[in-house]
Amino acid sequence: MAKVLLPLIFLLVVAAIGFSNGNDVGIYELRRGNVSIKLTNYGATILSVILPDKNGKLDDVVLSFPSIDDFRNDTTYFGNIVGRVANRIGGAKFGINGVFYKLIPNDGRNLLHGGKKGFGDVIWKVESYVKGNHIIFTYDSFDGEQGFPGDLQVSVTYMFLETNKLGVKMQAESLNKPTPVNLAQHSYWNLDGHSSGNILSHKIKLFASSITPVDSELIPTGKITPVARTPFDFTTPREIGSQIKSAGGYDINYVVDDTGSGHLKKVAEVTGKKSGRKMELWSNQPGVQFYTGNQLKEVKGKDGAVYKQYAGLCLETQGFPDSVNHPNFPSQIVNPGESYEHVMVYRFTAHHSD
């Protein structure tokens, strides 16, 4: 079949109250060809990703709420940028250079995704957009916010690359104190359509031979263990549901294999069985949290959808969870004058089954 090259321009349609003072919440659409993405500056959040399937039929493939207001007391983190430190910090405490920090727990006795009001629950400023290029959200996190030390300047760029790739670049700069930084993009994907049911028939390959096992509170033990001959082994593609009961659902950090092939590492390939849609993911981060929506229960979603257990999957590239309390894990500490950069690239295609 002849490949149709779409024009290398896309429309950035802005439906917003305004974006001058950083206090207004708006919805922004990036569009290129028949691919469109809606975002909001509330949490720098992805609201929808509309893609063609193997027959050209368009569907929205990310889970979300009917309105922005639904995000305000939400614990699903649909599509949010989460931080200052994504994932869990054991005991909601850590030390840097002999200085001890106690955070306010929001997940039992632990801290999850930056605290009760993390980056997914703040209004970001729309810093700029360039027609045909990108949109940038920025947020100035203050010293002591949710208990974290130091002022931190944060930005997230969403950008179309070529005709079928989405780039996400998360950056942060510490201004005056050493601080942990670990940002993550928390979209839930269902490549057969957000309201199509569960993702158990999706096939996934993870380019990761090890995991960081956790205790009963989902805090890493500090070990790194191989996945071979366990229900966590997705080094060859298989259906997510094939051993999900043995695994008790998936909610674990995988150690991405270092192939030594430059800046970005291949993280995952996922295919929707019914739609033929395929998503590939690359990142520069050492880990990826693979989560299968185990906690979703009768969540009222957009377009009248009701999301049940396993309705979507998350692939959150990240530093390892609770790294601040495990010296053997890659450090997440950003010192004053240093910068953090987290890059993700998604590629979307659709194929008929062989």
* Whether 326 is catalytic: no
Task: Say what the pLDDT of residue 131 is.
Answer: 55
Task: Say what the pLDDT of residue 130 is.
Answer: 66
How far CA 69 is from CA of 26, 42, 43, 74, 234, in Å, comes to 12, 10, 12, 9, 37
Task: Say what the pLDDT of residue 259 is.
Answer: 79
* Whether 186 is catalytic: yes
Single out the catalytic residue among 186, 202, 326, 342. 186
Q: Which residue has tokens 């981060």?
A: 285
Residues making up the annotated binding site are 87-88, 186-188, 251
Task: Say what the pLDDT of residue 276 is.
Answer: 98
How far is it, in rounded angstroms, from Cα 337 to Cα 335? 6
Task: Say what the pLDDT of residue 162 is.
Answer: 86
Task: Say what the pLDDT of residue 353 is.
Answer: 66
Please state the φ and ψ torsions of residue 70, each to the nearest 5 degrees.
Answer: -65, -15
Task: Say what the pLDDT of residue 303 is.
Answer: 96
Single out the catalytic residue among 145, 194, 202, 316. 316
- As a whole-number percent, the residues of the chain with pLDDT over 90 amount to 84
Residues making up the annotated binding site for beta-D-galactose are 87-88, 186-188, 251
Q: Which residue has tokens 């998350």?
A: 314
Task: Say what the pLDDT of residue 337 is.
Answer: 92
Phi-psi region of 137 (alpha: psi -120 to 50; beta: other; left: phi over 0): beta
Q: What parts of the chain have a pLDDT lower than 70?
A: 1-22, 130-132, 261, 353-354
CATH 3.30.1490.440: does it fit domain 27-200+264-350? no
Structure confidence by residue, pLDDT tens digits, 84-129: 999 999 999 999 999 999 999 999 999 999 999 999 999 999 998 7
pTM across the whole model: 0.93
